[in-house]
Amino acid sequence: MGQRLPNPTTLFTSKPSAACTFLSLLVICILGFYTLHYVHPAPSSSNPQTALRFRRIFLSHATNATVASYLRALTLHPHLAGTRPSLDTAHFVRAHFMGLGLDTHWAHYNSLLSYPLRSSLSAHFSNGSHVDIPLTEQGLSAENGVVGAYHAYSPSGSAHAKVVFANHGTDEDYRALAELGVNVSGCVVLVKRGGELPRGEAVGKAEQNGALAVLLYTEGGDGFKKGFERGLVRNGAGDPLTPGWAGVDGAERLDPEDPEVLKRFPKIPSMPLSAKAAELLLATLGRSPVPNQWRASLPAGVRGVGPGPTVVNFTYQGEKKLVAIHNVFAVIRGAEEPDRYVLLGNHRDAWTYGAVDPNSGTAALLDIARRYALLMRSGWIPRRTIILCSWDAEEFGMVGSTEWVEQNLANLGSKAVAYLNVDCAVQGPGLFVRATPQLDNLIVEVTKKVKDPDSEGATVYETWMSANRSIDIQRLSALDSDFAPFVQHAGVPSIDMYYGRDFPVYHTAFDAYDWMVNFGDPLFQRHVAVAGIWGLLALHLADDSILPFNFLSYVDQLKHYKDVLSSLLDGSVSLHPLTTAIQEFAYAAKEVEHEAQRLRDVQSTSELVLLKKRALNDRLMLAERGFLDSDGLEGRHWFKHLVYAPSSDHESELFFFPGVADAIFQAKRMSGREGQAKIQHEIWRVARAIQRAASSLRGEIF
């Protein structure tokens, strides 16, 4: 009836072989025979009672042992992106999807990744002795497939210099050193990871202060102080050589020496250090005393911050090279709205074994696929298309997801309902969720349906409430997982969730199956809970006749952000444009919520009612795109979202309105009038974005 809707598989293009073409024709003939001779009426998943039954079936078929078996298989070997074991892991995920009978696709890109060639570090003490510091976990080496400790995209370099401790390496920390008369210029800076400062920023700030090299360490828990936290130190997301477009075969690529590429990388070398080795260096530093505000987090024997007298001999040599990366997808085509996509995503690649990061999430995704396949055998067909996404090279800067979003930006911009991300599904106890605000209510309702993994007889919602005394949903301004290209570049409503805030084996070779079994989730109950919430969220988004978005939560957040901004600014900058825009958005949100409730109450399935629901859903889906600005943030044009994106000032108090946060930071180095004008302009830009979102919700030009 009516025009045939586009096929969701237009997102995935490949050239079939002759054998594949023959097999496809054979399958089509067989399916055609059964279609002509047998009628298999499927109950509509949009029917509330039918949808409820399918959701109950989904929850009832969780098995801890199945998830555990997936994780065990995924973590048998390290699988760093761009290596053969990583490709083997991609084949494993693809075979799983195909074995379930799901429509499975590849997407391949050529991207600039970074690997170590050789490195060494030795410490030389004032008594004339020295020690060679190992740069990988004890008992593990290249023969195990474990990559040595390194920072991806660090430049090669060497240094023979005194050590200075700079705490977390923030501007405030360098000011504290300056007050002591400590100059880090010409030194190797030792920095403790912590707070909100990314690795690349820590290296950049050391470079700005004249350091020759940086050693970064993380405090490991008891028994894990010999772990090395690998990670990247570049800026931005996606392939550095194809900023804003996909790195497909034959694509335009910038030269690796292009200034646009080089500005993403630090100019001084860095390496990760174990907490054990860091304590050795800290214990031998003298000269200037440790600032009082740093003492609480340091070992008792630390007396000074340096420089020296300990000297380190630091050498790192790495290489950047173009390698193939591989995303894997499973598509469950929607029956009524096949051109509307609900996406669930997780990355596969890991620095080492990846039991927590990321394969606890991969195991949950594989289990959701298994349970969805079971629902399909029970007669379920989603209203909208569901796409399960397995990303590659996330650890190198969300490369796989970013390349795919850039390649499919037009389709996603007009058809993506929501993106649901799980990176590390299980790190420890306690549920943590980040989301765009229109999804808050749905998250709350779904957590009421899932059993809590750590409290007998309670739901996730009940435990969440008792722990926080409220539902604490954070936002998606960070650049730290695969939701970033969806929210910050494409404006797709998104969720990111995980159990446990921190874990002591992050990015080390100890992030293995044994750690998960002994510490993270021995009975795999938290894995089951995450899979339950994740899969149930997608079922609502795919099957509810009216999309379960509530923009009144967004209104509350925007009002709060305006109040926070008001407390930070003096009266020289007007917030009136922002106030007016939020009022307009609030009116549109109330109107659309009333309209949605009226249509939910309508029992008719007439074509007119269906068209009204479709039109409303489009407005709900597209409103988030209104917060995008085609020019992007100043100096960082890839970031288009003016409400949620990272600020260039990582020490800013604002985790929202990134353009305003940047302007406040830049205004400190300008004249009063010039700085005020810059801030005012960014406030106007945010106000216009909020007005665009309000206009999208209303769906009317006049």
- At 583-595, the pLDDT tens digits run 999 999 999 999 9
Residues 391-422 have pLDDT tens digits of 999 999 999 999 999 999 999 999 999 999 99
Q: CA nearest 553: which of 467, 614, 620?
A: 620
Mean pLDDT score, 21-31: 35
Give residue 39's pLDDT. 31
Residues 521-577 have pLDDT tens digits of 999 999 999 999 999 999 999 999 999 999 999 999 999 999 999 999 988 899 999
The three-state DSSP-derived secondary structure of 347-390 is ECCCCCCCCCCCHHHHHHHHHHHHHHHHHHHCCCCCCEEEEEEE
Mean pLDDT score, 634-648: 97
Give residue 8's pLDDT. 52
Give residue 28's pLDDT. 34
Cα 257 to chain centroid distance, Å, stands at 28
Residues 47-86 have pLDDT tens digits of 888 999 999 999 999 999 999 999 999 999 999 999 999 9
The three-state DSSP-derived secondary structure of 151-200 is EECCCCEEEEEEEEECCCCCHHHHHHHHHCCCCCCCCEEEEECCCCCCHH
Distances in Å between the Cα of 139 and the Cα atoms of 133, 144, 227 are 14, 9, 11
Give residue 183's pLDDT. 96
Query: Would you tell me the crossing angle of helices 48-60 and 525-543 to the nearest 10 degrees?
Result: 160
pTM score, whole prediction: 0.94
More confidently predicted of 506 and 22? 506
568 with 653: CB under 8 angstroms?
A: yes
Residue 31 has pLDDT above 80, yes or no: no
Burial of 21 (0-12, 13-18, 19+ CB in 10 A): exposed
Give residue 527's pLDDT. 98
DSSP 64: H
CATH superfamily of 551-698: Transferrin receptor-like, dimerisation domain (1.20.930.40)
Query: pLDDT band for position 24 (50/70/90)?
Result: very low
Identify the sign of the CA torsion 195, 199, 202, 204. Answer: negative
**What are the percentages of helix, strand and coil residues in the chain, rounded to 5?**
40, 20, 40
70 with 367: CB under 8 angstroms?
A: yes
Residue 250 has pLDDT above 50, yes or no: yes
Give residue 143's pLDDT. 67
Per-residue buried b or exposed e for 271-287, using 16+ beta carbons within 10 Å of the residue's own CB: bbbbbbbbbbbbebbeb
CATH superfamily of 67-111+322-543: Zn peptidases (3.40.630.10)
Q: Is 394 annotated in the active site?
A: yes
Pairing mode, if any, of strands 103-124 and 270-273? unpaired
Give residue 45's pLDDT. 65
Residue 25 has pLDDT above 60, yes or no: no
Tally Cβ neighbours within 10 Å of residue 651: 14
Tally Cβ neighbours within 10 Å of residue 665: 16
Query: pLDDT band for position 6 (50/70/90)?
Result: very low
List the CATH code of the domain at 114-319. Answer: 3.50.30.30
Please state, in angstroms and rounded to a whole number, the distance separating the CA atoms of residues 385 and 393. 25
Of the chain, the percentage scoring pLDDT greater than 70 comes to 93
More confidently predicted of 37 and 651? 651
Least confident of 194-208, 442-456, 524-538: 194-208
Contacts of 440 (CB under 8 A, 6+ apart): 471, 473, 550, 553
Phi/psi for 441 (5° steps) reads -60, -40
Tally Cβ neighbours within 10 Å of residue 478: 18
Contacts of 307 (CB under 8 A, 6+ apart): 162, 163, 164, 182, 183, 184, 187, 287
Please state, in angstroms and rounded to a whole number, the distance separating the CA atoms of residues 610 and 181. 72
Give residue 219's pLDDT. 85
H-helix segments, 183-268:
199-208, 259-262
666 with 557: CB under 8 angstroms?
A: no
Return the structure tokens found at 541. Answer: 């988004």
Q: CA nearest 275: which of 224, 210, 208?
A: 224
DSSP-assigned letters across all residues of 635-681: TBTT--BSSSS--S-TT-S-SS-HHHHHHHHHHTTS-HHHHHHHHHH
Mean pLDDT score, 495-517: 96
Least confident of 174-188, 265-279, 454-468: 454-468
Residue 26 has pLDDT above 50, yes or no: no
Query: pLDDT band for position 141 (50/70/90)?
Result: low
Mean pLDDT score, 290-312: 92
H-helix segments, 381-437:
399-407, 409-415
Contacts of 208 (CB under 8 A, 6+ apart): none
Give residue 46's pLDDT. 65
Q: Which residue has the tokens 């290596």?
A: 83
Give residue 287's pLDDT. 86
Give residue 486's pLDDT. 98
What is the three-class DSSP state of 491? coil
The domain limits of the chain are 67-111+322-543, 114-319, 551-698
DSSP-assigned letters across all residues of 563-590: HHHHHHS-TTS--HHHHHHHHHHHHHHH
DSSP 9: G
Give residue 352's pLDDT. 97
Residue 425 has pLDDT above 90, yes or no: yes
What is the three-class DSSP state of 261? helix
Return the structure tokens found at 496. Answer: 């990111």
Q: Look over the chain and give the mean of its residue pLDDT values, rounded to a whole number.
A: 92
Of the chain, the percentage scoring pLDDT greater than 90 comes to 85
Catalytic residue among 394, 403, 584, 624: 394
Least confident of 34-43, 319-328, 518-527, 691-700: 34-43
Give residue 13's pLDDT. 53
